Amino acid sequence: MTFKKEAKFSRENFQSGRADGRFDRSLGFIYDFLRRKEPALSFDKVTTPEEFPAWREKVRVKLRELLRMRDHAQPEFVLLKDEKREGYRLFHYEFYPEENLAVPFLMLIPDDVLAGARKAPAVICNSGAGASKESLAGEPSTYPNRYPLRNRQAWWYVKAGFISIAVDNPGTASCSEPGIPYGLTQLRFYSLLLRSGRTYQGFITEQRLMLLEFLKNHPLVDAERLACSGLSLGCGGVLYTTVLSDDVKAMIYNDFVCDGDARIFSVTEFPASPVMAASFIPGAADWFAIQPDLTASVAPRPVLLAEGGAWKGNIEKIVRAYELLGARENLSLHYYRKYSDPASRQYDDVDLRNTTGLTPMDFLDHSYVDVSQHSFHPELAIPWLTKLFFGKECDNPGLLREINDSIHEKEHFFNADDEEIFPEEKVKTSK
């Protein structure tokens, strides 16, 4: 048999060519098998407000099981050093979630909180795929970061008066391997976790729940005002932590809401990506569409969705959950500026779970994604959480100016993920 050097899957690879509808090739069979599944815990099965609490509890129990989470005692947290910054102090910590494991993180505390003027609300910040905790804190960093000003989540929050925590994704930045593209480290790490009977997102979520417990017991933190904030890959741990713990009072989600199964079903030319591999949770397709159903289960707690997503069976489902509970005002839904006008969102009636033949870019178009503007959105997050937790408008003129400047920040990498994960692509395109 002759193999094409640039071979790609097409719609025909996922269809039966037989009169009886059977598949004599493996790929089409498993694709069809997955498409015919009806998730047992889909929010679509909830029809009344009275049914919602029992459904949510079933979702929580099943999610913890699927994430293969382990029970751990609350670990020791050790302060390594602290440094003065303008308007706040930067604390370097590490904690020991498991035997032989040390996890570093940064904690940023406003000066007036340290002076004893008040207890403050706190935010756990998760970065995108290749970025570091230092970049979250506005510190110098050599790791990929397309928008260094926008993406310093923890810095924005501390400047707005919040205590914030910045932590690396496992297998990334200081948790990666020196001199090796972070994507290769992540892929190796994912495969070893799966071999050990664990999942990447479960590994993250265990640690985020420990950080949440640390904040609840910190003398300067108002434990009734805790939030989780994520960008891109970091949204997974944010979502799962929020679903599993009522201690999280608000969630800031800086990514488009994506039904991962719909992506697999609709896109035939599917790209290889460590970020997509990181979201893999074996068996989840039997139970729910991960992002839309789990986000729906967070209702009625306040949620900010910064980058929208496809409507049918996706954003529509989340909106319906909040409306069912009479809490639509607690869901702050935004789209990329390119799609802020409803007239520009032309695919609201498209069911991506029952669509085939899309390219990766087609899928993003159907999900209303402006790839070049994928980032943290301080212009949305800071005013929203300030109003929610402080009960007032964000009225710091200097901070508002910096937020406005960040909106116009130029992209620092064309595609940091491709350059770091697949360095040969950079060589190819430069020839």
The confidence score (pLDDT) of residue 6 equals: 59
DSSP state string for 231-283: ETTHHHHHHHHHHH-TT--EEEEES-B--HHHHHHHBSSPPP-HHHHHT--TT
**For the whole prediction, is pTM greater than 0.85?**
yes
Q: What is the largest CA-CA distance in the chain?
A: 77
The confidence score (pLDDT) of residue 275 equals: 64
The candidate with the shortest Cα–Cα distance to 377, out of 248, 260, 240, 231, is 231
**Token reading at 266:** 């609709």
The confidence score (pLDDT) of residue 431 equals: 40
**Token reading at 324:** 């069912």
Query: Is-contact 193 153, C-beta < 8 A?
Result: no
Spatial distance between the Cα atoms of 352 and 375, rounded to a whole number of angstroms:
24
What stretches in the chain show pLDDT beneath 70?
Answer: 1-7, 270-276, 413-431
Q: Which residues are within 8 A (CB) of 131 and not within 5 positions of it... i.e. 6 or more apart?
A: 141, 143, 144, 145, 151, 172, 173, 231
Spatial distance between the Cα atoms of 67 and 321, rounded to a whole number of angstroms:
23
**Token reading at 271:** 């790209």
Query: Is-contact 293 317, C-beta < 8 A?
Result: yes
DSSP state string for 29-69: HHHHHHHT---TT-GGG--SGGGHHHHHHHHHHHHHHHTT-
User: What are φ and ψ of residue 221, in 5° steps?
Assistant: -100, 135
The confidence score (pLDDT) of residue 357 equals: 86
Q: Rounded to 5 degrees, what angle do the CA atoms 25, 30, 33 make?
A: 125
The confidence score (pLDDT) of residue 427 equals: 39
The confidence score (pLDDT) of residue 7 equals: 64
The confidence score (pLDDT) of residue 274 equals: 61
The confidence score (pLDDT) of residue 182 equals: 79
**Token reading at 25:** 């090739």
User: What are φ and ψ of residue 231, in 5° steps?
Assistant: -130, 130
Q: Which residues are within 8 A (CB) of 130 and not within 5 positions of it... i.e. 6 or more apart?
A: 143, 144, 145, 172, 173, 182, 183, 416, 417, 420
The confidence score (pLDDT) of residue 212 equals: 98
At 228, which helix (H) or strand (E)? Answer: strand 221-231
The candidate with the shortest Cα–Cα distance to 233, out of 176, 168, 174, is 168
Domain 40-430: CATH class, spelled out: alpha beta
Query: Is-contact 374 232, C-beta < 8 A?
Result: yes
Distance of CA 413 to the CA centre of its chain: 20
Residue 92 identity: H
